Amino acid sequence: MKFFVDTADVAAIRELNDLGMVDGVTTNPSLILKSGRNILEVTKEICDIVEGPVSAEVVAQKAEDMIREGEHLAKIAPNITVKVPLTWDGLKACKALSSAGHKVNVTLCFSPAQAILAAKAGATFISPFIGRLDDNNFDGLDLIAQIREIYDNYDFQTEILAASIRTVNHITDAARIGADVITAPPAVIKAMANHILTDKGLEQFNADWAKTGQKIV
């Protein structure tokens, strides 16, 4: 499974990338706002750090405007993936941009039907939103499973990018279902290392070691 980091925080990206935990990055207008930086400047810096795909999202609503914005974003770096919403105009933009040789991430997917359309339009990635579905009493992981089944049935090459990840369980469950990629905030990825029994075991080891009175160095 590929790990994308869902943030525009350059320091957090750099830390995880240095550990080999970053296969790509996803950003959106909300994350750009949180960073407090210019979208072109911060996206270029991220692309210089990360070798894998970096999703930069258009903000226009009409297909022709999305295409124009997407072409502009794609000039930032060779590893840019243009992010478009799963609307009819977004699908038109996806088709045009993918046909022009650009990677496209179709975002805000909430149904298997939408995922089929994105694959037909040539999407590189489809981003189903697990957490937002869970927030509204739907089963976000069930959507991942349905898309996996459909894509496998027809050998669609679009990769399933599980998004709106809120918990470590979201990541492990998405991996079990067969999502190709997850994108999660840095804090959630780092939380994967945590376990209460690890903490208790380390506490016991440290206590026993102190009793030996020894030093390794």
C-alpha distance from residue 194 to each of 4, 163, 188 (Å): 19, 21, 10
Helix (H, G, I), strand (E, B) or coil at 162: strand
Which of 186-206 are b and which e, b meaning 16 or more Cβ less than 10 Å from the residue's Cβ? Answer: bebbbeeeeeeeeeeeeeeee
Annotated catalytic residue within 34, 44, 62, 83: 83
Side chain identity at 29, as an amino acid letter? P
Dist CA 68 CA 148 (whole Å): 31
Question: Active site includes 200?
Answer: no
Torsion, Cα 112 117 120 121, to 10 degrees, reads -140
Q: Are 27 and 54 in contact (CB under 8 A)?
A: yes
Active site residues: 83
